[in-house]
Amino acid sequence: MHIRFHVKYFKVAFLAIAIFAPLFSFCWGVTGHRVVAEIAQNHLTRRAKKELRKLIGKETLAQWANWADFIKSDTTNTWKHTSQWHYVDLPANLSKDEFIEDLKKLPGENLYTQIQAMSKQLADHSLPLEQRQIALRFLIHLVGDLHQPLHVGRDEDQGGNKIKVTWFDKPTNLHSVWDNSLVEFQQYSYTEYANILDIAGKEQINEWQDTPLEDWFYDSYLLANKIYALTPDGSKLSYRYNYIFMNDLNRQLLKGGLRLAKILNEVLK
Ligand SMILES: [Zn+2]
Q: How far is the CA of 227 from the centre of ligand 1 (A)?
A: 19
More confident residue, 79 or 96: 96
**pLDDT the model gives residue 77:** 85
146 Cα to the center of ligand 1, angstroms: 9
How large a percentage of the chain has pLDDT more than 90?
83
Sequence-distant (≥ 6) Cβ neighbours of residue 150 within 8 angstroms: 159, 160, 174, 175, 178, 179, 224, 227
pLDDT at residue number 71: 87
Contact between residue 82 and residue 71 where contact means Cβ atoms under 8 Å apart: yes
- φ, ψ of residue 164 in degrees (nearest 5): -85, 130
**Average model confidence (pLDDT) for the chain?**
91
Better-predicted residue by pLDDT, 89 or 11: 89
Q: Alpha helices of 90-238 — where are they, by DSSP H?
A: 96-105, 111-123, 129-146, 174-176, 182-185, 190-197, 202-209, 213-230
Whole-number Å distance, alpha carbon 2 to ligand 1 midpoint, is: 41
CA of 216 from ligand 1 middle (Å) equals 16
Which of 28-32, 84-88, 134-138 is the least confident region?
A: 28-32
Q: What is the average per-residue pLDDT within 50-67?
A: 95
Residues 109, 267: Cα–Cα separation, whole Å = 21
φ/ψ (deg, to 5) at 59:
-70, 170
Share of the chain above pLDDT 70, in %: 90
- The closest alpha carbon to 261, from 27, 112, 19, 46, belongs to 46
Q: What is the per-residue pLDDT across 156-182, written as a single tens digit (0 to 9) for each? A: 999 999 999 999 999 999 999 999 999
Average pLDDT over residues 199-223: 97
Q: Which of 222, 230, 74 is nearest to 150 (CA)?
A: 222
Local confidence band at 154 (pLDDT 50, 70, 90 cut-offs): very high
pTM to 2 decimals? 0.89
State the distance from the centre of ligand 1 to the C-alpha of 231, rounded, in angstroms.
22
Identify the pLDDT of residue 24: 46
Which domain covers residue 239, as residue numbers?
Answer: 2-267
Calpha distance 162→165 (Å, rounded): 9
pLDDT confidence band for 69 (50 / 70 / 90): confident
Q: Give the whole-angstrom CA distance, residue 9 versus residue 17.
A: 12
Cα-to-centroid distance, 45 and ligand 1 (Å): 26
Distance 179 CA to ligand 1 centre (A): 9
Overall domain count for the chain: 1
Q: Judge contact between 57 and 83, C-beta under 8 A.
A: no
Taking CA atoms, 13 is separated from 9, 10, 17, 18, 181, in Å, by 6, 5, 6, 9, 21
- How crowded is the C-beta side of 49, counted as CA atoms within 13 Å? 8
In CATH, what number is assigned to the domain containing residue 191? Answer: 1.10.575.10
Q: What is the pLDDT of residue 27?
A: 63
Q: Is 6's pLDDT higher than 80?
A: no
